[in-house]
Amino acid sequence: MRKNQLFFIVTAFIALTALHVNAAEPRRVHLIPEPVSVREQSGEFILDNSVSLELKSKNKQLQQSLKWFSAKIQRATGVDVSKSNGSKKITILLNTDTDAEIGKEGYHLKVSPQQIVLTANTAAGAFYGLQTIIQLFPSDIEAKQLKAGLNWNIPSVEVTDYPRFGWRGLMLDVSRHFFTKEEVKGFIDEMVKYKYNTFHWHLTDDQGWRIEIKSLPELTKKGAYSVKRTGRWGTFLPALANEEPTYGGFYTQEDIKEIVKYAQDRYVTVLPEIDVPGHSLAMITTYPSLSSTRKQYSVNSGWRTDPQDDNSLDPSNEDVYKTLDKVFTEIAKLFPCQYIHIGGDEAYKGYWEKNPACQKLMAKEGLKDVEQLQSYFIKRLEKILESKGKKLIGWDEILQGGLAESATVMSWRGMNGGIEAAKMNHPVVMTPWDYVYLDLYQGDPLAEPDTYGLCRLSDSYNYEPVPAGLDEKLILGGQGNLWTESVPTYRHMEYMVWPRSIALSEVYWSPKSKKNWPDFMSRLENEFTRLDAADINYSKSCYNVIFKPVKEGRNDVSLTMATEVPGLEIYYTFDNTFPDLHAAKYDGSVLNFPMGASQINAVTYRNGKPIGKQINIKKEELIKRSEAARHVY
């Protein structure tokens, strides 16, 4: 009892103090991801023609970054800070003695009315500091053209910052739908704003082989194209007889080099993924003899077949290893990344079980089952990669049948694979689907483009990559993963990636102790104005109503409603009219459908204005959801 009273008094005091600070001084600094330490001060640095950049370092890469920085500032403001004779300085220093606090990617930033000083140990750290300076400017700094007549002031502040994890990645699947070289560069530009440093490039799958392999030119001639289909993924009509596969594309090795360099200039490591032994239909379409069935397939546009296509390479066929050796020889030369991702996920093994050559190999090698056969395959790849000076990383199925000695595991089917690998002292990148998969619905499916599953913005934000009891050092970090089965365009890609990847950037960069959902949302809303200025098609689904069915016996349901964003109001109707401010306001209680009502319309409001989409949900749909084994929406 006494404890509770004390808790109440302390909480009330903290809340009142916070209110007082907020009321006295509106926040001027809205950084994302939240830095380790931010101390706002009075006054501001005014950007005008008297400002110039001063770099106290000969670092070539940083000189390059400063060109990017001044061009970015000049585009919207018209001010050229790259000149050398300004009286007011933005000074960038690289430490000669390492500052242990900020490490390899951290920085100190001090903005005062007279000067900006940015200090880092490395060019990468300085680059993240430059990103922070850009974020301190008004939102229109993100505009693609000159914005005349605006004030370009940034608040005085002291920031100390460094990341929680060294691996902060986003994955883009360019197999299910091809994204052009320029689009990939755009993706990289967007990710570095939030201090991501790893671009995981899913280059091959059943729907297309996207990278030129000079010693195997057929792979892209044949494997890069399918027939075009539109609609709901998985329901597509297979290729018709004589239908020409013309949909797709690939990157030449020159394109790859250009993108790797583009990424390097932005301190991003490109991790290439060649997904084997499963998900290999594009390769098998090109070389049918590499599968167990040796059947001629065509590159899959997104149809399902029964029995399923044989999209797994045959681990008993030496030609498979010879072919992959050629592939990895070229991949290893193109990508400086110390890792190559070999996929390893969801390999269908049914045809291995029927393949006499696989049975013979299993008997010879003493392999008990097809999981061990898969492990044999992965271990052969580990040796191939080692011979090219590369380390193997794969999806968590590579644990099945025994993990290769030097493998790093990317855990996607949940956290368990990562936990198992870490317990065996293997490094882990955590990407559990229910928190970081960017292809999932991010709000009620009734208001979203077709896909599957659910991962709300708050799910991503609340994700904690280090399970209790595990050595944090073994968790290299994490990613957001965008599979593109249902994402055919760049604009749609942006919609899926943002803002969930902004939430994830904070999970991977910011101190765990700083996690605070309402505070994040308030900074994110400021960030939305920047995304608007940059014309990025981010999702606003976090503003939509969440319907929660309450089962009322057979064939009946009532409901409650909620919002992800704090402080919104919900208005609703049962008569299929738009819920305006004269409609019923939701008070948090369980709602029963009035006699005869078969649907409810609901909209969120803030300050008397609708902010979410109107969503209409049928009673029937709520009954269906209430009876589902797992409520996902």
Active site residues: 346
Cβ–Cβ < 8 Å for 409, 429 = yes
Cβ–Cβ < 8 Å for 277, 203 = no
According to the 3-state scheme, what is the secondary structure of 316-376? Answer: CCHHHHHHHHHHHHHHHHHCCCCEEEEECCCCCCHHHHCCHHHHHHHHHHCCCCHHHHHHH
Nearest distance in Å: CB 478, ligand ACM: 14
| Complex with ligand ACM: residue 550 or 632, whichever CB lies closer | 632
| Complex with ligand ACM: residue 416 or 592, whichever CB lies closer | 416
DSSP for 534-572, written as a single string: TT-----GGGSEEEEEEE-STT-EEEEEEESSTT-EEEE
Q: Kindly compute the dihedral angle of the four CA atoms of residues 167, 168, 169, 170, in this order, to the nearest 10 degrees.
A: 170
Nearest distance in Å: CB 443, ligand ACM: 21
| Complex with ligand ACM: residue 28 or 413, whichever CB lies closer | 413
Q: How far apart are CA 557 and CA 247, in angstroms?
A: 46
Q: Provide the terminal-to-terminal Cα distance of the chain, rounded to the nearest Å.
A: 38
Nearest distance in Å: CB 414, ligand ACM: 11
Q: What residues have CB less than 8 Å from 36, skipping those under 6 apart?
A: 106, 160, 161, 162, 510, 511, 514
Q: How far apart are CA 303 and CA 19, in angstroms?
A: 56
Nearest distance in Å: CB 481, ligand ACM: 7
Q: How far apart are CA 195 and CA 524, in angstroms?
A: 15
Among 251, 339, 412, 547, binds ligand ACM (CB under 6 A): 412
Question: For ligand ACM, what does the binding mask look like between residues 304 and 343, x meaning CB under 6 A?
Answer: ----------------------------------------
Give the number of other Cβ atoms within 10 Å of residue 210's Cβ. 26
| Complex with ligand ACM: residue 99 or 434, whichever CB lies closer | 434
Q: How far apart are CA 283 and CA 264, in angstroms?
A: 29
Q: How far apart are CA 98 and CA 78, in angstroms?
A: 36
| Complex with ligand ACM: residue 139 or 374, whichever CB lies closer | 374
Question: For ligand ACM, what does the binding mask look like between residues 586 and 605, x meaning CB under 6 A?
Answer: --------------------
Strand 584-585 versus strand 569-573 pairing type: antiparallel
Q: How far apart are CA 27 and CA 202, in angstroms?
A: 40
Nearest distance in Å: CB 53, ligand ACM: 43
Q: How far apart are CA 470 and CA 467, in angstroms?
A: 6
**Which pair of tokens denotes residue 274?**
């060649």
Nearest distance in Å: CB 343, ligand ACM: 8
Nearest distance in Å: CB 175, ligand ACM: 12
Q: How far apart are CA 502 and CA 371, in angstroms?
A: 37
Q: Any idea what the Cα angle at residue 546 is, between residues 541 and 550, rounded to 5°? A: 160
Cβ–Cβ < 8 Å for 550, 558 = yes
Nearest distance in Å: CB 424, ligand ACM: 20
| Complex with ligand ACM: residue 455 or 622, whichever CB lies closer | 455
Site of tokens 């296509």: 309
Nearest distance in Å: CB 34, ligand ACM: 29
Q: How many CA atoms lie within 13 A of 577 on its CB side?
A: 8
The helix-helix angle for 490-497 and 500-509 (nearest 10°) equals: 50
Residue nearest to ligand ACM (CB): 345
| Complex with ligand ACM: residue 273 or 506, whichever CB lies closer | 273
Q: How far apart are CA 174 and CA 208, in angstroms?
A: 8
**Residue 526 host element (H or E):** helix 517-533
Q: How far apart are CA 154 and CA 341, in angstroms?
A: 42
| Complex with ligand ACM: residue 267 or 395, whichever CB lies closer | 395
345 in contact with ligand ACM (CB under 6 A): yes
Nearest distance in Å: CB 173, ligand ACM: 9
How many residues touch ligand ACM (CB under 6 A)?
4
Nearest distance in Å: CB 508, ligand ACM: 19
| Complex with ligand ACM: residue 193 or 341, whichever CB lies closer | 341
The helix-helix angle for 60-77 and 123-136 (nearest 10°) equals: 10
434 in contact with ligand ACM (CB under 6 A): no
**Residue 462 host element (H or E):** helix 457-462
Nearest Cα to 272, choosing from 353, 342, 187, 345?
342
Nearest distance in Å: CB 493, ligand ACM: 17
| Complex with ligand ACM: residue 321 or 452, whichever CB lies closer | 452
Among 346, 371, 434, 519, binds ligand ACM (CB under 6 A): 346
Q: How far apart are CA 397 and CA 97, in angstroms?
A: 44
Tell me how many helices (H) and strands (E) the chain has: 18, 26
395 in contact with ligand ACM (CB under 6 A): yes
Q: Which residues bind ligand ACM (CB under 6 A)?
A: 345-346, 395, 412
